[in-house]
Amino acid sequence: MNTYFLYKFYFKDSFQGLFKHPLLKKKYIRYLIGLSLLIFYFFYFYMNVNQVNVLKNVAMSTSVNELMIAKRQTLSSLYSITFLLAGFIFLLLDSGVHLNMKSIYFTKALPFRKKDILNSERLFFLSLSLILFELFVIILIPALVLITNEIFTSMLIVISIHVVFLGVFQTLRFIRSCLHKKWFIRVYQLLLLGSMYYYFVDYKYKIESFIADKPISLLTITISAMIAGVVLFILSWIMQKNLNLYMTSEYTHISCIQPSLFLLALLRTRFFKVTSFLIASMACYCYFVIKDIEIINFLFPILALIFLYYGNTTMSVRKMFPHYRISSLYEFISLLLIICIVEMPSLVLGLTTHHGLMVFLYGINLSLSALILGILLPKSISNMNELITSTVMILLIIIYLFGNIYVLCTIFIILMMVTYLTIKEATR
């Protein structure tokens, strides 16, 4: 009973903060965002269905034996993608969703049993992961016609990929729960990321080819995967005893020669520490080891992600800005200057290579987008905000890559206006 109560509380707490920003409270803006997402999703789904139909036509002109090999390969590829998605979604939720202070206080200060807290927290994260996984499943389902035409087998495959997903996801969470030191957790995340990368570029095809060449039925593969998923899930569920659920400090004391209110709000977050270290390490690796400057061009703009947390960091003190006579325009101009400074390495590198101003504009657009998202959806309001803003930023990092200089300039002008309006609304 208490497990369900806590589970419901986490969900309510996660989603209630989603639309608290004054701008997002307006009905027409909510309808606009909802409609845009719906159109985008249907367009994407339609493109996928079209591509699957093309592949199906090609499959009709191959021999039975070759077809079976292809089917086994496709099925094992499906499980590979499920395995990778479990890892990816685990990393996303582990970094992007944390129970906020209110949830932690409610959970730990009130007399709930440890078992109830553990189960409700696990159920909460499993539910979130399943929601994200379903977005991919809906896209993957049309591809099932390439494997089998039988409804029963199709349903079994769908159930088995869910079981495999849950088993792998829960196992990763169990391993994470055994680590208590912050640096161990970072290393674990990096190792997982590295393993997923090497599995995707190398081992995935070797394993899939190995399974494809074996004379086993699709049903055998499906049931074996399901059993593996169930065993992983049960073992990791039983073995997990601990939950590292504590309030953590948000900021690090980094000395600053000229402390500015806005600059300190960006530099002193834990996220800045981790991001700048990662980017600096990767830049050094690209320059000194693999000697590729091209990657560095698109690495520096990623520092724009630090602006995601500005809104949350200044959320409390912002209420006093009118009293301290800090105008929205002053704040906007100060932040714009900081963005230019942060993206300066991109500008220098871009001008020395053939990219010119494009990378600089790309970085500025990412920074402004991160700033807007961070102010609209501050992480301490809801458990989900961090996840949503991170996911949107990942999408924007990819989408902005496709723009030419004219598109990026147009986006820049629009983002400037939206940023100023967002800051003004947030301070009002």
Chain positions contacting other proteins, by CB under 8 A: 249-251, 253, 259, 261, 264-265, 268-269, 313-314, 316-320, 322-325
Taking the C-alpha atoms of residue 339 and residue 332, their distance in angstroms, rounded to an integer, is 10
Say what angle helices 151-177 and 218-239 make with each other, to 10 degrees: 30
Nearer to other proteins, 47 or 320 (CB): 320
Torsion angle (degrees, nearest 10) of CA 87, 133, 217, 201 = -40
Taking the complex as a whole, how short is the minimal distance between the CB of residue 311 and other proteins, in angstroms? Answer: 13
Question: Structure tokens of 30?
Answer: 């909510």
Q: How distant is the alpha carbon of residue 244 from its chain centre? A: 21
Q: What would the two tokens of residue 384 be?
A: 């989900």
CB-nearer residue toward other proteins: 102 or 176: 102
Q: Nearest approach, Cβ of 43 to other proteins (angstroms)?
A: 42
Count the residues in the chain.
428
The dihedral through the CA atoms of 43, 47, 48, 50 has a sign that is positive
* Amino acid present at 205: Y
Nearer to other proteins, 194 or 322 (CB): 322
Which of 250/425 has CB closer to other proteins?
250
Q: Shortest gap between Cβ of 261 and other proteins (angstroms)?
A: 6
Min separation Cβ 26 and other proteins, Å: 18
CA distances from 352 to 170, 239, 284, 290 (A): 47, 55, 18, 19
- Type of residue numbered 162: H
Task: Name the CA dihedral angle for 5, 6, 8, 14, rounded to a multiple of 10 degrees.
Answer: 160
- Considering the complex, state which of residue 45 and residue 251 has its C-beta at the smaller distance from other proteins: 251
284-289 LR contacts (CB < 8 Å, sep 24+): none
Shortest approach of other proteins to residue 324 CB, angstroms? 5
Q: Provide the minimum distance between the beta carbon of 274 and other proteins in the complex, in angstroms, as a whole number.
A: 16
- The tokens describing 101, both together, are 């202070």
Ordered DSSP codes for 219-274? HHHHHHHHHHHHHHHHHHHHH-----------B-----SS--HHHHHHHTBHHHHH
Minimum CB separation from other proteins for residue 260, in Å?
A: 9
Min dist CB 342 to other proteins, Å, is: 17
Closest to other proteins by CB, 24 vs 264, is 264
Identity of the residue, 307 or 360, whose beta carbon is nearer to other proteins in the bound complex: 307
Q: By the 8 A CB rule, do 374 and 312 touch?
A: yes
Provide the minimum distance between the beta carbon of 327 and other proteins in the complex, in angstroms, as a whole number: 10
User: Which lies closer to other proteins via its Cβ, residue 314 or residue 367?
Assistant: 314
Sign of the Cα torsion 39, 43, 49, 53 reads positive
Quick one: 27 or 253, whose CB is closer to other proteins?
Answer: 253
Nearer to other proteins, 28 or 324 (CB): 324
Query: In angstroms, rounded to a whole number, what is the distance separating the alpha carbons of residues 76 and 38?
Result: 31
CB of 199 to other proteins, least distance (A): 39
Integer Cα distance of 120 and 5 in angstroms = 8
Give CA separation, 63 vs 57, 60, 217, 413, in Å: 13, 8, 17, 56
DSSP-H helix ranges across 343-404: 344-352, 358-376, 385-399
Reported as type and span, the H/E element at residue 320 is: none
CB of 428 to other proteins, least distance (A): 9
Nearest residue (CB) to other proteins, 241 versus 319: 319
